[in-house]
Chains A and B, each alone.
Chain A
Amino acid sequence: MSILDQIYAKAKENPQKVAFPEAANEKMMQAAYEAGRDGYIVPILVGNAERLKALCAERGYDPAAFTFVDMDDEAYKSKVVAAYVAREDTLLKEKALRRRIQDPLYYAMAMQKVGEASVTFAGIDNTTGDVLLAGQMMIGLQPGISTVSSIGLCDIPGFQGSEGSLLAIGDSAVCTNPTPEQLADIGISACETVKSLLDWEPRCAFVCYSTLGSGQGELIDKVTEAVKIAQEKRPDLLIDGEFQFDAAISPQVAAKKVKRESKVAGRANVIIWPDLNVGNVGVKLIQQFGHADAYGPMLQGFNAVVCDCSRGAPVSEIKGNIIISAVRAAGMNR
């Protein structure tokens, strides 16, 4: 059973409510419909319910597969607003909130914040920046986490790592040039993401061009500082470094290069790149030379699951990302 099949099976065991603020979009509606019809999620379409129902009929979808939330339904809106402003961990007061939730993206996230949905899924009509900013304002970041970031999950044919052919890598998409504090938070968030999605015990390696002092320089200093911060913040997690990539994932190389006890070296299942240059090149190398399937990017660091999909993504990929998000949400709620 492939990793995606395993994730799909988990989604079916506990379907989560997913809010779609861009449901009028044809690809988004189809992906939401298929994921709902097949029992992976409970799709909630947010917008003008009458128009959404008409589009649904026009496109030949059974409306019974969806829950419709009409943004003009004052009673429901007031219920969401009251629940939102009553929370201590929200930023907006009622007047400002009512202004913001005229935008479906913000409306969906307000619903998510008050428990009416487990995931907000967007990114077709809104840019990544729109989704990230709305997420920070409406959902907020995890306590102690200073930055939004992302990880991807690579399924690499022929790779025999500590999780078989799978390796989680981050951040290859969001945080351009993280400070040591931000890099530490990326590693911590990545550990939480793989725990919630895959039930792994994360073994997280911070990589660069040096293994435990074999090289010197400011690029390495940033990584060693990040490892120290992450270890201090979360001593319960297996986080280690700095390692070269091969020392992180290969037991043979680790045996030669890592001359101290490490539960991570040679068996890392989560790799943290030092910056986005490395992350972007790294994931392309894995895809091009390793012929890997790369799933994600999965946004992390938020208090709940916020998902941004690629505008050019085909329906099958959108559907996959919806289901992955739902499983993460179920994992976070456990």
Chain B
Amino acid sequence: MDRKELEQKILELVAVAYKKDIADLSLSTSFKNDLQGASVQMVALVAEIENETDASITLQDAAACQTIEDLVNAVEAEL
């Protein structure tokens, strides 16, 4: 999976986990300010990332991500 594909995949997974329209999301979308999700949504997102990629990212690392781009970087580092 190249970087572009990974970015698209993570955007799709964030849209599903946070029940958002993917058109409203971008790499600069902030988890805290824009998505305002509960931790349970981040848990679901991490589980889906593990299911759909071979990355095993810790929940703590995912929770530390400010933006979707940060999350893409964290997943890429694990691939």
Residues of A within 8 A of B (CB): 91-93, 95-96, 99-100, 129, 133, 136-137, 141, 146-148, 182
Contacts and interface: CB of A to CB of B under 8 A. Distances in A.
B76 interface: no
Q: Chain B contact residues (Cβ within 8 angstroms of A): what range? A: 10 to 19
Contacts, number: 39
A140 to B, nearest CB: 8
B48 A91 contact: yes
22 contacts: A91-B44, A91-B47, A91-B51, A92-B50, A93-B51, A95-B54, A96-B47, A96-B56, A99-B50, A99-B56, A100-B56, A133-B39, A133-B43, A133-B59, A136-B39, A136-B40, A136-B43, A137-B43, A137-B46, A147-B38, A147-B39, A182-B38
Smallest CB-CB A-B distances: 8 pairs: A91-B47, A96-B50, A133-B59, A136-B43, A93-B51, A96-B51, A137-B43, A146-B38
A149 to B, nearest CB: 12
A35 B38 CA distance: 36
Nearest to A135: B43
B33 interface: no
A99 B54 CA distance: 10
Q: Identify whether the interface residues of B are mostly helix, strand, loop, or mixed.
A: helix
A93 B40 CA distance: 18
A contact patch SS? helix
Interface centre among A95, A96, A137, A146 (most CB of B within 10 A): A96
Interface in B22-45: 38-40, 43-44
B43 A91 contact: yes
Contacts of B48: 91
A133 B64 CA distance: 14
Contacts of B56: 96, 99-100
A133 B38 CA distance: 12
A171 B50 CA distance: 32
B60 A92 contact: no
Nearest to A145: B40
Contact of B47 (A129, A137, A148): A137
B44 A141 contact: no
